[in-house]
Amino acid sequence: MRLAERVAHMTGEGSDGWEIYYRARDLAAGGVTVVNLTIGEHDIRTDPRILAAMAESARAGNTGYTVGAGKPELRRAIAERVSARTGVPTGPENVIVTPGGQAALFAAHMVTLDPGDTGLYCDPYYATYPGTIRATGARDVAVPTRPENGFQPEARAIAARAKGARSLLINTPNNPTGAVYTRPTLEAVAEVVRDHDLWLISDEVYDTQLWSGDHQSPRALPGMAERTLVVGSLSKSHAMTGSRIGWLIAPEPVVAAVTALATNTTYGLPGYIMDAGLAALSLGPDFEAEVSGPFRRRRDLALARLGQANLLRLVPSGGAMYVMVDVRATGLSGEAFALRLLEHERIAVMPGESFGQAASGHIRIALTVADDLLDDALGRLLAFAESLATSD
Ligand code: PLP
């Protein structure tokens, strides 16, 4: 039997860096000790206070169907957090709760793109972006960013691809590069978006993982609230990846469209997960700082270890739980470097190539193991890179 075209096109072709992740997992399952620095999963588990609220809610009977855009109290709490963090007046009517940021990304593209439209996104990119856009039947077009420009999006590159486009997807703090978009960058992006009458889909799931200054949302820029859809999540900020709870912030008609979509797809979130989300948000900014603290420390550790390296260049990282390293001076691609590193040192990192063309010749290191383990792994990674130079 034939499957639908949109499914066949969703995954695309090209290099699949996930091979390293699967290989590392297989090695670990076979009893081999591997330092796994591949995926963005915290090394802590969800806080017991959040779990207690989840269990209490489930025991109290919140195990039935839920409807609509999410519990009113939760929508209000999310709206208050967004207003406080970005300064943009936001009400519960601007919020729909989704099963994670990924579902919000999918919904945002579903309600803004028709089949045959073009959806833009910046390269390097989070692995699901092209498939998410293609799943709508639209054409995915990557806008390259450049390492020599700190992987900041450039207005000219966006404008050059904007003809026929309906949306632009950006992500700050950025996965995989760790780049935090500057205010001038966001202003230039906003100008192109307005000039070409695009929707801006702003993925801000790392908004609490910022190593200096405050998080800036492009939704706060003049004329942007009515065309910006912000993707948020408790996955990274509250170490709740498995609870699948996130949201989309958008103008009311967009929230209505996403609610209709949810009625025909996810059917909303479990009530006890929403109550856990409420409990998580009630822990406030101090708790968010506690969850993000280890990544800041480990970013500093990576800077101390790799900042002065001869063969490796650490991409300056302003946020998110990753650092990118340029390995081109070793003469290897990111993929070949990562494969050899796994083989020789039992350290698993993601090849830049799995995040697009712009990150080729790079590796991404997730800062997701204990400090001493990371420090040791970075030392071995450096020695491994140097051994490549001397063995030629
Ligand atoms: N956006 C980015 C940039 C991510 O890195 C991730 C997950 O790693 C997501 C969205 C999806 O997160 P979730 O669906 O867990 O909220």
Digit-coded pLDDT (tens) for 86-105: 999 999 999 999 999 999 99
Write out pLDDT tens, residues 281-314. 999 999 999 999 999 999 999 999 999 888 999 9
Q: Look up residue 343 and give its two tokens.
A: 């083989």
Q: Pocket of ligand 1, candidates 181, 204, 233: which has the most ligand atoms within 8 Å of its Cβ, to mutate?
A: 233
Q: Which atom of ligand 1 is nearest to the CA of 320?
A: 5
* Closest residue to atom 4 of ligand 1, CA basis: 126
| DSSP run (H or E) holding 276 | helix 271-282
Q: Look up residue 114 and give its two tokens.
A: 């028709």
Cα(274)–Cα(77) distance, integer angstroms: 11
Residue 392: predicted pLDDT: 58
Domains of the chain, with CATH numbers?
Answer: 6-45+286-391 (3.90.1150.10), 71-283 (3.40.640.10)
Q: Which of 392, 391, 385, 303 is nearest to 341 (CA)?
A: 385
* Closest residue to atom 8 of ligand 1, CA basis: 40
137-161: burial string, b at 16+ Cβ within 10 Å, e else:
bbbbbbbebebeebbbbbbebbeeb
Is 46 near ligand 1, meaning CB less than 6 Å away? no
Burial class of 16 by CB neighbour count within 10 A (0 to 12, 13 to 18, 19+): middle
Cα(257)–Cα(108) distance, integer angstroms: 9
* Closest residue to atom 12 of ligand 1, CA basis: 101
For residue 18, what pLDDT band results from cuts at 50, 70 and 90?
confident
Contacts of 229 (CB under 8 A, 6+ apart): 108, 112, 199, 200, 201, 202, 248, 249, 250, 254
Q: What is the mean pLDDT of residues 353-359?
A: 95
Is 237 near ligand 1, meaning CB less than 6 Å away? no
- State the angle between helix axes of 371-391 and 334-345 in degrees (0 to 180), rounded to the nearest 10: 110
SS3 149: helix
The values of phi and psi at residue 390, to 5°, are -80, -20
Structural contact between residues 43 and 178, judged by C-beta atoms closer than 8 angstroms: no
Q: What is the mean pLDDT of residues 245-272?
A: 97
Cα(272)–Cα(56) distance, integer angstroms: 8
Is 235 near ligand 1, meaning CB less than 6 Å away? yes
Is 351 near ligand 1, meaning CB less than 6 Å away? no
Q: Which atom of ligand 1 is nearest to the CA of 40?
A: 8
Q: Look up residue 132 and give its two tokens.
A: 């998410």
Q: What is the pTM of this model?
A: 0.96
Residue 160 vs residues 138, 144, 200, 352: alpha-carbon distances, Å? 18, 11, 16, 24
Compute the mean pLDDT over every residue in the chain, rounded to the nearest whole number: 95
SS3 142: strand
Q: Pocket of ligand 1, candidates 205, 209, 244: which has the most ligand atoms within 8 Å of its Cβ, to mutate?
A: 205
Is 175 near ligand 1, meaning CB less than 6 Å away? yes
Q: Which atom of ligand 1 is nearest to the CA of 105?
A: 10
